[in-house]
Structure 1
Amino acid sequence: MQAELDTAIQLNSRAAIEILQVGREQTPVVVIDDFALDIQAVIAHASQQTFTPPSEAAYPGVRAPLPRPYIFSLLDGVFKLIYQLYRVPAQLRMQPQNFVYSLVSQTPEQLSSRQRLPHYDSHYLYHFALMHYLNPGPHGGTAFYRHKPTGFETISQPRRVPYIAAVQAHMAGYGEPDNAYIHDSTDQFEQIGQVAYRPNRLLIYPGFLLHSGLIDTDSDIDSNPVTGRLTANLFIEFR
């Protein structure tokens, strides 16, 4: 219990904040370097957890719950920025969705066709993903994509059905994607930006933005929280 209590983080007043405008749609993506003064307690806490595969099939690895003090202190430091940058209506309130440590563990041969493509987390306008890179690198970062047949970079509610239909039609005509993690552009997706992995870097982006981890099969497929591509993933909505 004490180990969890010690995981509250102090925000670094000298953290470097960069706002990227991704793609033709100019979707804001927040990158904050040296986000916390110290993340060693969080990393130590992760090393003591039991990681298991998630109930949903989308994530190619294992996960464990994040400690509550860490969650509260992190969100307290960024929620005003999210409200302002993404113009979240003031009457909406932040609601938790999922808070987990994540480690990639599946080899390319184990991936489903869905896991070999970029994905979106939610079509809801005010759903956001926060990713805190924790362990020392080198590890792969995160990339963002445009779907070439439709031109979509974000999958909002009106785009969801035509996007899914276009992806299915492409696979019916050209076959399933290569049995590998996506990295660069393909015949169906164009990479429109990326953020490199760096310890203590916080990444914030809307859940409807097409994205994928840039998984390095030499360094990132590792279910050991001491050596793997350990990230803290927080998903929130404003309702």
Structure 2
Amino acid sequence: MLAAPLFDHRKRFTGMIGGLILLNGDNFMSDISGIRVGDAGYLRLITRQGVVLADGRDGRVMVPVDVRQSSIARAMEGFEGTLRDESDQKMPTITAYGQMAQVPWFVAAVWPETDAFASVNRMRDAFSWTLLSVLVVLIPLAFWFFHRLLRPLRDLSIQIYQRHTGERQMPVSETGGREIRNVARVFNMVRHERDEILRSLAEREAFFRSLT
């Protein structure tokens, strides 16, 4: 029941107007109760004295709220804004409060945290699966790429060993990346100089023996 006093132009009381609102009737109260926030969220209309006028969760009206909730207590004192709170089912919720201008009531938009962050969690899961799929593809590809990239170095090491043991007489192949080609070129140059020195020593030794 709502009532408002009436005054004349001299500010003298002349009467009052009274009205009734059926809280469970087909009016704006039921419209408020039927509004959904996300998939599982709902609205509540509460007086500053802590009486529920409309509740989209269970439809109970004219019952006191649980003032043990810090956010409810702050809203009864005039707070406006958004807070993270625990509902009476101990389910984390994101609750936004807005004070009404004409009456000492406030509106609470309650959104379960699991529903509020559902899209973020789905995006995180999708990103995780995408990242896993990319890694499954990239890791073998990276191994294959590095194996192919380092194959000239492995071939160079085999050819150098063969040159050292005498199994190979030809210079090592100068293939692969620039650094590998430089190493092969330097090795061939050093090997060529070594062979020239050995050949010169062999000729001198033969000449000395012929003299002796």
TM-score interval for Structure 1 and Structure 2 normalised by the shorter chain: under 0.3
What TM-score do you get using the length of structure 1 for normalisation? 0.22
**More relative contact order, 1 or 2 (CA 8 Å, 6+ apart):** 1
| Larger gyration radius, structure 1 or structure 2 | 2
> Which structure has greater helix proportion?
2
What TM-score do you get using the length of structure 2 for normalisation? 0.24
> Which structure has greater strand proportion?
1
